[in-house]
Amino acid sequence: MTVSRERFDQGMTYDEYKAQMTRNRETLEANERAVEITDADRRAFSRKVSALVLAEDWCGDVVANLPVLGRLAQDTGNVDVRVFLRDKNLDLMEQYLNQGKFQSIPVFVFFDQANDGWRELGHWIERPASVTEKRREERTKIYASDPRFGSPDAPVDQLSADVRAELQGRLVKMRADTAVWANREVLRELGEIVAR
Amino acid sequence: MAPPPKVTITYCAECGYEDETLALARSLMLEFGGSISGIELIPWEGGTFDVSVGGVLVHSMKRDGGFADHGRVKAAVRATLEV
């Protein structure tokens, strides 16, 4: 089962989605401004495609990764983005569960519009595995750099407030430092999907 | 009898989870009053919404998905109080 063209058309445009956000819009738009689209991305998205998105404004991965798609759509003019709120469209979510069981978002589902057709090209969920792995490695290094930080798996409420603040600062900086690379990884994976 | 548990809510401050955090804290305050030793709110990062009761993690956004179900957290508190 796939999503029909008629259902797709009922989704919000990217701008309509942003307009209805109740939180994190400034962060999402700051992330959008930081996305750099290259000529290779433009070549990868040189034909018209449709992208169905499942999102919620409270989700950090949505705030980080939806702007990559949004910026790509704005730059190329070739991606028709329609956003659906996950919690109000669970029938759609059920079709694209992460590992068949998790309601991870964002989900991007690409459709080919060639020759007035409607063919699903593939879908993308949450964040690239490479980003998860890289950040896991960097987190491990940060925790290992200071014995006061304890184990990455231990609840942070067991740390003293001053140690917690220091650790939080290091983790936030690490994510900021890897953001440009992470955006590139997202664009690379999206390009691979539409090349199918 | 076990000492009253403390509930800790660790939430992503960058993600705007304050409303859900305060709603859960309020719900626990109204339900348990002085039966719990405290509610600690910890601003954190990385899309976290974790709830622990007496040091035991009863909800994790990363592990369980989404925000904590109030009923489930209350059940965990009740179970601790009944020990």
**Each residue's pLDDT tens digit, A76-126:** 999 999 999 999 999 999 999 998 988 899 999 999 987 778 999 999 999
CB-CB: which of A57, A155, A172 is closest to B45? A172
| Percentage of chain A modeled with pLDDT above 90 | 88
B44 chain-A contacts, CB cut-off 8 A: 156, 168
> Residue B15 and residue A164: Cβ atoms within 8 Å?
no
Q: Are residues A184 and A111 part of one domain?
A: yes
Share of chain A above pLDDT 70, in %: 99
**Spatial separation of the C-alpha atoms in residues B49 and B71, rounded to whole Å:** 16
Q: How far apart are CA A74 and CA A67, in angstroms?
A: 10
Range B68-83 burial, b when 16+ CB lie within 10 A, else e: bebeebbebbeebbee
Asked whether residue B76 is domain-assigned, the answer is yes
Which residues of B touch chain A, with CB atoms under 8 Å apart?
8, 10, 12, 14-17, 20, 40, 42-47, 50, 52, 55, 57, 65-67
**Alpha-carbon gap, residue B73 to B9, rounded angstroms:** 11
User: Which range, A31-40, A148-157, B45-54, B59-68, has the best average confidence (pLDDT)?
Assistant: A31-40
What's the 3-state SS for chain A?
Answer: CCCCHHHHCCCECHHHHHHHCCCCHHHHHHHHHHCCCCHHHHHHCCCCEEEEEEECCCCHHHHHHHHHHHHHHHHHCCEEEEEEEHHHCHHHHHHHCECCCECCCCEEEEEECHHHCCEEEEEEECCCHHHHHHHHHHHHHHHHCCHHHCCCCCCHHHCCHHHHHHHHHHHHHHHHHCHHHHHHHHHHHHHHHHCC
Q: What average pLDDT does range A36-58 have in this prediction?
A: 96
| Mean pLDDT, chain B, integer | 92
Mean pLDDT, rounded, for A37-66: 96
Residue A129 corresponds to which amino acid? A
Q: How many domains does chain B have?
A: 1
Same domain, A80 and A120: yes
User: Is B1 a member of any domain?
Assistant: no
Identify the band that residue A192 occupies on the pLDDT scale cut at 50, 70 and 90.
Answer: very high
Q: What is the pLDDT of residue B1?
A: 63
Domain extent, residue B48, equals 6-82
Q: Domain residues for A142?
A: 130-174
DSSP letter (8 states) at residue B7: E
Position B49 pLDDT exceeds 80: yes
Secondary structure class of B64 (helix, strand, coil): helix
A24 and A69 together in one domain: yes
Domain count of chain A?
2
β-sheet with B6-12: strand ranges across: B38-44, B6-12, B49-53, B56-60
Complex ipTM: 0.71
| CATH number where B29 lies | 3.40.30.10
> Residue A117: which CATH number?
3.40.30.10
Q: Do residue A153 and residue A59 come from a single domain?
A: no
pLDDT for position A25: 96
Residues A14 and A78 in one domain: yes
Minimum Cα–Cα distance from A102: chain B residue: B65
